[in-house]
Amino acid sequence: NAGVTQTPKFQVLKTGQSMTLQCAQDMNHNSMYWYRQDPGMGLRLIYYSASEGTTDKGEVPNGYNVSRLNKREFSLRLESAAPSQTSVYFCASVWRTMWNEQFFGPGTRLTVL
Amino acid sequence: DQQVKQNSPSLSVQEGRISILNCDYTNSMFDYFLWYKKYPAEGPTFLISISSIKDKNEDGRFTVFLNKSAKHLSLHIVPSQPGDSAVYFCAANPQTGANNLFFGTGTRLTVIP
């Protein structure tokens, strides 16, 4: 039981490049989330998926897109990376949105030059 | 606008003594609160939580206290151990919509052997 996994662990991009961050969970959770963590800011919600087939914007969605590929997988795409997107990205999942305890992946550290 | 605040970026405590980590919030819609612990290069892991209908919740060495009138909660760790050294995030949940978590900026706890 791997819990929540994220790939890649590290990535360096040049401004304007695109990439997709992958997230998968094997806990049969219905809801999945993408957060970013910046120094002095805590974790902020980018997008979430309450259930398979649905996605919604969070607090800081600009510059990102998401896909809930199936119940297990939730990807985050940067179409044209900007230096302001340099951050650590965490994926999380929970059984249902009305449950509180979210389980987090190990994170992806992204640097945009 | 930071709705959950942890005003102490760092705290150092001697092994065996009590660690007290504080958290304040501004949104009266928050009714469930969680503490997460984070080691370097890992995702946050759930530690303890409290519902707004309670003022105290205990789990082993960890106790969370909630003062709703002051919009303040605290995490007590007794006795503190070197393995407790980590960044602690306070999070709040409005129990509506996405049910996402609003995080504080974190407090880095160092337990000195």
- For B37-82, the pLDDT digits (tens) are 999 989 999 999 999 999 999 999 999 999 999 999 999 999 999 9
Q: Do B44 and A101 touch (CB under 8 A)?
A: no
Rounded average pLDDT over B73-96: 94
Q: Confidence band (pLDDT; 50, 70, 90) for B94?
A: confident
pLDDT for the residue numbered A100: 72
> For A83, phi and psi rounded to 5 degrees?
-55, -30
Rounded average pLDDT over B31-36: 92
Please name the residue of chain B whose CA is at the shortest distance from the CA of residue A34.
Answer: B100
Percent of chain B with pLDDT over 70: 96
By Cβ distance, the residue of A42, A97, A99 closest to B98 is A97
Please name the residue of chain B whose CA is at the shortest distance from the CA of residue A54.
Answer: B98
Q: Do A45 and B106 touch (CB under 8 A)?
A: no
Q: Do A101 and B98 touch (CB under 8 A)?
A: no
Q: Which residues of B are less than 8 Å from A90 in CB distance?
A: 43-44
pLDDT for the residue numbered B98: 59
* Cβ atoms of B53 and B60 closer than 8 Å: no
Please name the residue of chain A whose CA is at the shortest distance from the CA of residue B48.
Answer: A101
Of B71, B93, B75, nearest to B84 (Cα)? B75
d(C-alpha A30, C-alpha A27), whole Å: 9
pLDDT for the residue numbered B97: 60
Question: pLDDT tens per residue, chain A (113 residues)?
Answer: 789 999 999 999 999 999 999 999 999 999 999 999 998 888 999 999 988 999 999 989 999 999 998 999 999 999 999 999 999 999 999 987 666 789 999 999 999 99
